[in-house]
Amino acid sequence: MSLESAIKGLSLQHSPGFSTRMTCEITAADGLTDQISLGIYRIVEQLLLNTLIHADCSVVAINIRISHNQILLSFADNGRGVELDDVVDGTGTAIIDGWLLALNGKRKISSSPGTGYKVEVELPLQH
């Protein structure tokens, strides 16, 4: 199964009872190692779970592309947003951070009340 199919399957898996629409655009995912593909999948899975539980959003947009020997993952929702100083890291964040550590990646979060939540992840193609 391709990475794109697997990620799109997440929306079907988690959609019962939620009215959140997910868009997913993945360019140039061919040739990624199995470990990188699995890491991306697990990161998106945790982001999606956190969003469905906490965000009260109607749309989630996922974009994954390769640029300058990096994989760039953007995950954004149109939910309630949060004051970043008030965020308490939980299990989902720990799982994401574990994958980022294993893949030498980094993340940047941007949000404020009423503006939704956006996470940008950068992973090197070779780690």
SS3 21: strand
Domain ranges within the chain, ordered by starting residue: 3-124
Q: CATH: 3.30.565.10, 3.40.50.300, 3.40.50.720, 3.40.50.360. Which one for 3-124?
A: 3.30.565.10
pLDDT digits (tens, 9 = 90+) for 17-70: 667 788 888 886 677 889 999 999 999 999 999 988 888 898 999 999 998 899
The answer to whether the CB of 82 falls within 8 A of the CB of 53 is no
Quote the pTM value: 0.89
126 pLDDT tier (thresholds 50, 70, 90): confident
**Arithmetic mean of pLDDT, 62-79:** 93
Cα distance between residue 119 and residue 74, in whole Å: 6
CB 84, CB 111: distance < 8 Å:
yes
Tokens of 58: 């109607």
- Reference 102, options 119, 79, 72, 127; nearest CA is 127
Q: Is 116 left (phi over 0), alpha (psi -120 to 50) or beta?
A: left
